[in-house]
Structure 1
Amino acid sequence: MTTIYDAERRDISIALGGDAMITRRMQNFKEERFLKLVEILRDADVSLVNLEMLFHDFESSWQWSSATYTRSDPHNLDELKWMGINAVTAANNHSFDYSEGGFLTTLEHCRDIDLPYAGGGRDLDEARSPAYVDSARGRVAVMGATSTFSEQSRAGAGRPDFRGRPGVNALRHDITHHVQQDVFDALRKANLELGYEEEHAFHRHFGFRGNEDAPDHSTEIDFLDNKFILDEEYAIRTALNEEDRLGISNWIRGTQKMADWLVYGVHCHESGPDGDFHGHSRLSPPHFLTDFARWTIDQGCAAFVGHGPHFLRGIEIYKNRPIFYSLGNFIFQNESVLWLPPEAYSRCG
């Protein structure tokens, strides 16, 4: 079969990396293994990483963060391009460390040096939209989301009469705690005695809980903003938010018409029930993430790449396509963030 374009051969090399928390110049390093890594990135047709760092000059105030307040000199973005990085995902739990301004300034710096990004933007549609990288072997679309985020950082859709909210493409999920009868009864009694059940009813009556229906208290209760289900065994179960899945599916469907290859990345600190703890996360990915990863492949994505917990998780070959549940750290220069707000120091004593 005669081909006109190399992309028609369906033969491409894509290098994928985990979290890039870069705060220093990389061109100074001359170690042999490091230079071999750079060679791999440059030799690939397309190289992608997650940008878990903000690039600004402290133009905006910080928000509360339970971890590092990420900030790097904007010139360090050039170091990623020097290494061979062609595009980044920008949705993660640090995106709003320096509020909306710090995030939008970071995206502006990416545009200034022609570094395509996905996963964040000036409204929800822009946050869900892809970044494109044109290579000799075909056009690659990159899309990104994060399941770990603050409500302030979640991008919002606009209306004809109202502008959307800047932020990240948030991948929400529901959590249910399944408990046996004795624990369920104790939680129900605590809800009644502490007045929470009456408070929830009041909030529903006046519309403070949206269109939420009252639960069947014989099998389900809300306790301290957690949902508990009566069951025969103990379990914590997670399920993907279907509204987010639908919105993302619309963008995937349109993107497939514009690119030869599609890679979806998700930043996820949440865990499954198995494996040892490493920091705040277990080795196993949560159920909603495996569900979403396989679903993106079903929708036509060529690969799924996870990151977030700062260690390696498993790899799955699903329908002959790779799912990387976490690629860990690509660059982790967390210790050389230049300045932090006072509360970051007081938290550590």
Structure 2
Amino acid sequence: MNDRFTLAVTGQSLIKHDIRDISAPAFREVQSLLRKADLSFTNFEGTILGSHGGWPLKGSFFGCSDPAVLDSLRAIGFRALSLSNNHAFDLGPSGVLSTLEEVEKRAFLHAGLGRDHAQASRAGTGMIGGRRVAIVAMDGGPGPNFMYAADAEDNRPERPGVNRLRLSQVIEVDETAFDQIRAIRDKVGYTAIDLTNDSQPDDPPRLTPEAEIGISRAVFTRSERFGRSVKIDEADLARNLAAIAATAADGSLVIAYLHHHHWASDWYRVPDWVSGVAKRCIDAGAHMFVSHGAPVLQPIEIYRRRPIFYSLGNFIFHVRSEKSTWTPPEVWESVIGLCSFGDDNGLIEITLHPVIIGGDEALANGVLEHRLAPHLAAGESAERILRRFSEQSTRFGVDVEISGGVGVIRF
């Protein structure tokens, strides 16, 4: 085993265009960073339109890509991908099969997608530079049940799809409001049969009697306060924790990955439930936890001397200008985290290299279609991104040293 192993992690890659011919020096600097790492990892935020075809299963947020985008990711320097996310099923099972086929042709280390539930749940493992590496990748949705992989049963074939961590949005109400909602439900005659019918095409939610009420697709829970929370399916979490533990036990350096859209109303705030899942993954044996979904860079926490990247935001983000949701500059700014591990898979150091998608010029002109490739940030822009990241991470007790446009966390 090598004395030191460097693993690069980035924001998610929602890539729809082949960007190999972009010659901007700042983009070449990004590629140089990723190629120097022993292994570079991103989330491929999409689905491939390939030999299996497929049909759009979404509205305006639908997306699919030509297989050439995977060649772009390899050219940039990536060798490892998560495939578990809300766009992985945009073409249905056919898109899943094409994505797997094209990813495997290019020998990516990958996880989170499968031809059935057993395969989607399995850790992706491989030997990289003499080091055994494993990825366990989950998606928390929200998404319809049919996007998640299933094994064959009697008179029911297997379903290709995504590895799930079932999360349910719950509306918390106090005792008085809970009793009023229950009385309204009973007076209008809303029954378990109605709940089942309203949940189609999904199965109805699994409720805790006397503590939860389901009406249409909303679940209300009895609480001491008003608010929103997320309920984690313990069986799903236990299955993924077991995959992490099994690969850690064989000496693998384990990346635990989660994609989700259960954000806080403030994009920069880390929901408590995410922190809980991350720490349980590390307790099970993961050497790092990486998450995407929230469209901005969120802080890093160090837990048991292992990094938790709560959201690395975006690395490649090919969206259209009419999607005004994505106009804030922070959506286009992130960092590349170069994590150095010793021969015992213990963390030695993390260096943080700020990037701007399209660079300062594209960020200023407001045309999202011009923001095709990540550029290494420099000068005041680099300082701004790192300073914001450092201030956020201080709340988690992490000290990020900033010098020469690079952030460093030492151990």
**Which residue among 257, 271, 291 is the counterpart of 1:306?**
291
Does 2:300 align with 1:270? Answer: no
Instruction: Give the corresponding residue for 2:406.
Output: none
Look up the match of 1:186: 180
Deviations 1:93-136 (A, max 9, x none): 11111110011111101111212220010111211212234222
Q: Alpha carbons of 1:267 and 1:30: their partners in 2 closer, same or farther (altered >3 Å)?
A: same
SS for the counterpart of 2:8 is strand
157-166 or 60-69, larger mean C-alpha shift: 157-166
Moved more, 238-247 or 327-336: 327-336
Equivalent of 1:332 in 314, 317, 326:
317
Against the structure 1 CA distance between its residues 220 and 246, is the aligned structure 2 distance closer, same or farther, given a 3 Å change threshold? closer
**Cα–Cα, structure 1 residues 63 and 196, in superposed 2: closer, same or farther, change >3 Å?**
farther
Aligned to 2:348: none
Q: Structure 1 pair 318/75, CA: closer, same or farther in 2 (3 Å)?
A: same
Structure 1 regions of 5+ residues with no counterpart?
A: 277-281, 337-349
Q: What does residue range 253-264 of structure 1 map to in structure 2 within 5 Å?
A: 253-264=245-256
Q: Deviations over 1:155-200 (max 9, x none)?
A: 1134599753211101112443221244223312321232214756
Q: Which residue in 1 is equivalent to 2:79?
A: 86
For 1:126 and 1:59, the matched residues in 2 are separated by: 19
Q: 1:209 to 1:80 in 2, by over 3 A?
A: closer
Cα separation, 2, equivalents of 1:209 and 1:144: 24
In structure 1, the residue matched to 2:273 is 288
TM-aligned CA deviation for residue 318 of structure 1:
0.9
Structure 2 residue runs of 5 or longer lacking an equivalent are 322-411
Instruction: State the 1:320 CA deviation.
Output: 1.0
Please tell me whether the aligned partners of residues 16 and 49 of structure 1 are also in contact (alpha carbons under 8 angstroms). Answer: yes
Aligned length in residues: 316
Report deviation, 1:58.
Answer: 7.9
Q: Does 1:12 align with 2:5?
A: yes
Aligned equivalent of 1:155, options 131, 149, 153 = 149
Q: 1:74 aligns with which of 56, 67, 73?
A: 67
Mapped pair 1:168 → 2:156 = no
1:115 aligns with 2:104: no
Equivalence map 1:194-273=2 (5 Å) = 194-197=188-191, 199=193, 215-216=209-210, 220-272=212-264
Cα shift at 1:269? 1.0
Query: Does the residue aligned with 1:196 lie in a helix, a strand or coil?
Result: coil
Q: Distance in 2 between matches of 1:202 and 1:176?
A: 17
Aligned equivalent of 1:27, options 20, 28, 36: 20
> In terms of mean alpha carbon deviation, does 321-330 or 190-199 score higher?
190-199
Q: Distance in 2 between matches of 1:24 and 1:212?
A: 41
Q: Secondary structure at the match of 1:193?
A: helix
Indicate conservation of the 8 Å contact 1:45/1:137, yes or no.
no
In 2: Cα distance, 1:239 partner to 1:191 partner = 22
SS at match of 1:288: helix
Q: Quote the residue 1:131 is aligned against.
A: 124
Matching residue of 1:344: none
Shift of residue 231, structure 1, vs aligned partner: 3.0
Cα 1:91–1:196 shift into 2, 3 Å: same
Q: Secondary structure at the match of 1:312?
A: coil
Contact 1:26 / 1:79 at 8 angstroms: preserved in 2? Answer: yes
Q: Is 1:48 equivalent to 2:41 in the alignment?
A: yes
1:48-91 per-residue CA deviation (whole Å, 9 max, x = no partner) reads 00011212248534243244221111122111111110110101
1:38 equivalent in alignment to 2:31: yes
- 1:19 Cα deviation from its structure 2 partner: 1.4
Q: Give the alignment's TM-score, normalised by structure 2.
A: 0.70
Distance 1:222 1:213, change over 3 A: closer
For 1:202 and 1:67, how far apart are their aligned partners in 2?
Answer: 27
- Structure 2: which amino acid aligns with 1:284? R
Task: Please tell me whether the aligned partners of residues 259 and 292 of structure 2 are also in contact (alpha carbons under 8 angstroms).
Answer: yes
Q: Which residue is 1:345 aligned to?
A: none
Residue identity opposite 1:87 in structure 2: A
TM-score scaled by length of structure 1: 0.82
Distance 1:40 1:161 in 2: 51
Matched, 1:65 2:50: no
Distance in 2, Cα, partners of 1:86 & 1:109? 13
Q: Would the aligned equivalents of 1:146 and 1:268 in 2 still touch at CA under 8 Å?
A: yes
- Aligned residues of 2:44 and 2:82 also touching (Cα < 8 A): yes
- The alpha-carbon deviation at position 201 of structure 1 amounts to 9.4
Name the CA distance, whole Å, in 1 between partners of 2:215 and 2:32. Answer: 53
CA deviation vs aligned residue, 1:12-70 (integer Å, no higher than 9, x gap): 11001121111222221122221111011000011000011212248534243244221
